[in-house]
A and B are shown apart, each in its own frame.
Chain A
Amino acid sequence: MPIIDVQMVFNAVTYSSIVALAATGLTTTFLTTKVPNFAQGSFMMVGAYTAIYVALKWGWSPYAALPLSALLGAAVGLAVYFLVIYPLRRRGANIMALMVATLAVSIVFIGVMNIVADVFESAGVRSRDIGLSFLDYRERIGPLIVRGVYMVTPIFAAAIVFALFLLLNYTKIGIAFRATVENPELARVMGVNVDMVMALSWALSGMLGAVSGTFLPIFLRIAHPNIGDDMLPTIFAASVVGGLQSIYGGFIGGYIVGLAETIVTRLLGEVVQGALVYRYVVSMAIFVAVLVFAPRGVIGLIKEGGRRA
């Protein structure tokens, strides 16, 4: 039996796409507000529970939750920006204060999402330890099980990154966004509404987080209210490994870290007995190594290499 089979590759790519979407969201806000957002996992939970509600209460396909998730995620992102980040920035808070504030937001969300799950349960929607994979399209082709999420998630992730590319390069908002990232003061002088760009980046980040979270319960067999928070170190790892200086860093890093957690761990399992449970150890080790030796990430390495040549 081959060590890497097709089924595993399907799973790995799907998982990586979910991580990539969330990490792109993290990178977006890091670029504009310079703060690593500890609440990125909370945005995912918003999407996950929207999917659970739409699928189990209304009986729709969980994919039909995507527009609603995106909207709710954007709303939550905006709320975090206007209630927490904006007032703090206006008072001249430093990065550490902003970071602890996002940490506080994630703690608030642990409470909120668990309350939401409890309320869903009492409304007759099973919300703890339930996945939506049984509602997904699935077909058995020979030894393979092909699921809808295997196709939708990577295509969706690729489409979103392409849309981001178009947005950043061919629209006025995109140019304003890039100007704000490069030099906020100069952008302000040139007439860019920096606060609005930042608000948009938080909305976008919330949207990306919630969308990636929507796929989580479809992909997993079990979801619970802390699942987004559990993924937070992985999302951080993906963003940093890819490179926090570029919007595409999260996307690239998402696949590097996602594949490392799944396929590399599997390969390690063949060599070292019992290494299979170490998926997070693998991704965190890569994370630490990148932070120490190449803090600008893969994209930083590519750029520096290009300059030197």
Chain B
Amino acid sequence: MTVPPEVIQALADIAAFFSMYAIVALALNLAYGYTGVPNFGLHMTILGGAAITGGLMGRVLFGALWGDVSARLTELGMDPTELDFVSNNAVIIDAINAVIATSPLLGIGILLMSLLVAGLFGALLGYLLTLPAARLREEYLAMATLAIAEVFFNVLRFQREIIGGTIGIQVVDPLAWLPQRFAVYPLILLGAAVAAFLLLRRVVNAPLGRVLKSVRDDDVAASTMGHDVARMRELSMAVSGFIGGVAGALWAFYTLGINAINFNRVLWTFIPWLIVILGGTANNLGVVIGALVYIVIRRTIILFKDTLNPVLPFDVAWVEYLLIGSLLIIMLIFRPQGILPERPVETLGREEVERLRGESQPSLRVGGSDKDEVVAR
């Protein structure tokens, strides 16, 4: 059985977009849905992660693989010492990719290393976004995070030396050794989405998750109970930023090229906000469903593009914005809790708790039957 390549391409694209938006919306849900930090600077963490792959890892590899890369460049008749990383980006990245193609282990190492560094950088940026949080009310904090992110965005967009400014740069391909990389890579994204979902499920169902919710619902009460509200906000935003950074790096490796303009606020902050509100704030499964709804709307419109575009006096692609925006307004009015409303924390079952208690504190059982009676009473 052979599947036409364009079908594989379309499926891969759907999987990649869905996974990416699911990851990003989950990250936002942790910050806003669970902790109540109105993060309108989400695109900064994503762009930060992407910039790590293009701006930092590319340069590091150019230096680290200097022997092999310069040999290849010399073969092509170029003087590797004369090349500038940004101006001669394409040839340098091609040479690095050729080296990676010979060694899968190197490629996987690069992938994991990049994701880790991008995540850490994203966490730092997420932490940065919470700095004004102590002094500002929600709506002012929303504007402040947006402004901070716009500073970062505009620097990367116009400063040519970092990631090529308005022209952008290419990103090394850690899967260059894989012949079917465009079909395989979305699976990695999908895996990352599942991993983010499981990780966040653990976080929000742990006692930490309840603390985060208490910070969101009543920060005065939370601090009265001895929780450091500012620390909790920082932690939540740092974890959210970590996920955002990893997502940015993953996306950069998917598209194999980055340009700051593609990491703008509409695509990577506003749309994820719509997805979170649509799916259900503080419900991770709902947010994933929200991402699915967005992708379905998007892909359906693309599907009808070829048939409708010659008939209509405008490009059908714009209907996407119209539909998703209107859908959100309708949801906000008639079902503000989203597709799946917030649920109480999933606690362990009683038997599981008793078993754990038995494991950790065996001394309780030593007393025999009379002690059990005391507990029951």
Contacts and interface: CB of A to CB of B under 8 A. Distances in A.
Interface residues of B, number: 43
B332 A107 contact: no
B314 A119 contact: yes
A87 interface: yes
B147 A288 contact: yes
Contacts of B158: 277-278
B330 to A, nearest CB: 9
A122 B310 CA distance: 12
B38 interface: yes
B313 interface: yes
Contacts of A285: 151
A87 B150 CA distance: 32
A240 B142 CA distance: 12
A103 B147 contact: no
Given A97-B336, A278-B158, A104 B328 contact: yes
Contact of B148 (A114, A119, A288): A288
A305 to B, nearest CB: 20
B342 interface: no
B66 interface: no
A34 interface: yes
A104 B314 CA distance: 21
B304 interface: no
B273 A103 contact: yes
A115 B326 CA distance: 15
Contacts of B318: 110-112, 114-115, 118
B329 interface: yes
Given A108-B326, A110-B266, A278-B158, A101 B332 contact: yes
B313 A35 contact: no
A291 B140 contact: yes
Interface in A275-306: 277-278, 280-281, 284-285, 287-288, 291-292, 295
Given A105-B329, A107-B270, A291-B147, A100 B322 contact: no
Interface stretch (A51-59, A160-168, A180-188, A229-237): A229-237
Contacts of A277: 158
Interface stretch (B96-104, B131-139, B188-196): B131-139
Given A103-B274, A112-B322, A93 B332 contact: yes
Interface in A65-114: 83-84, 87-88, 91, 93, 95-97, 99-101, 103-112, 114
A189 B58 CA distance: 66
A280 B154 contact: yes
Contacts of A237: 147
Interface string B159-190: 10000000000000000000000000000000
Instruction: Select the residue from A111, A274, A287 with max chain B CB neighbours within 10 A.
Output: A111
Contact of A291 (B38, B136, B274, B329): B136
A104 B325 contact: yes
Given A35-B139, A280-B154, A111 B325 contact: yes
A36 interface: yes
Nearest to B146: A233
A88 B323 CA distance: 19
A100 B279 CA distance: 14
A178 to B, nearest CB: 21
A115 B322 contact: yes
Contacts of B270: 103, 106-107
Interface size class of A (residues with CB under 8 A): 35 or more
Contacts of A88: 332-333
A108 B151 contact: no
A233 B320 contact: no
Nearest to B271: A107
A240 B143 contact: yes
B320 A111 contact: yes
B86 interface: no
Given A96-B38, A119-B313, A108 B321 contact: yes
B71 to A, nearest CB: 35
Nearest to B331: A104
B65 to A, nearest CB: 31
A69 B221 CA distance: 50
B273 A36 contact: no
A244 to B, nearest CB: 8
Contacts of A236: 143, 146-147
Nearest to B320: A111
B285 to A, nearest CB: 20
Contacts of A101: 328-329, 332
Nearest to A108: B325
Nearest to A122: B313
A114 B332 CA distance: 24
Contacts of A123: 313
Contacts of A233: 146-147, 150
A161 B24 CA distance: 43
Given A233-B146, A284-B151, A292 B132 contact: yes
B329 A284 contact: no
Contacts of A109: 325
Contact of B138 (A95, A111, A287): A95
Would you list the 3 A-B pairs with minimal beta carbon distance, nearest first? A111-B321, A118-B314, A108-B325
Interface of A: 34-36, 83-84, 87-88, 91, 93, 95-97, 99-101, 103-112, 114-115, 118-119, 122-123, 229, 233, 236-237, 240, 274, 277-278, 280-281, 284-285, 287-288, 291-292, 295
Interface of B: 38, 131-132, 135-136, 138-140, 142-144, 146-148, 150-151, 154-155, 158-159, 266, 270-271, 273-274, 277, 313-315, 318-326, 328-329, 332-333, 336
Given A36-B143, A110-B266, A287-B144, 5 more contacts: A84-B329, A105-B329, A115-B314, A118-B318, A119-B313
27 contacts: A93-B336, A97-B332, A99-B139, A99-B142, A100-B273, A103-B270, A106-B325, A107-B270, A107-B325, A107-B328, A111-B320, A114-B315, A114-B321, A115-B314, A115-B319, A119-B314, A236-B147, A237-B147, A240-B143, A280-B150, A281-B151, A281-B155, A284-B151, A284-B154, A291-B140, A292-B144, A295-B140
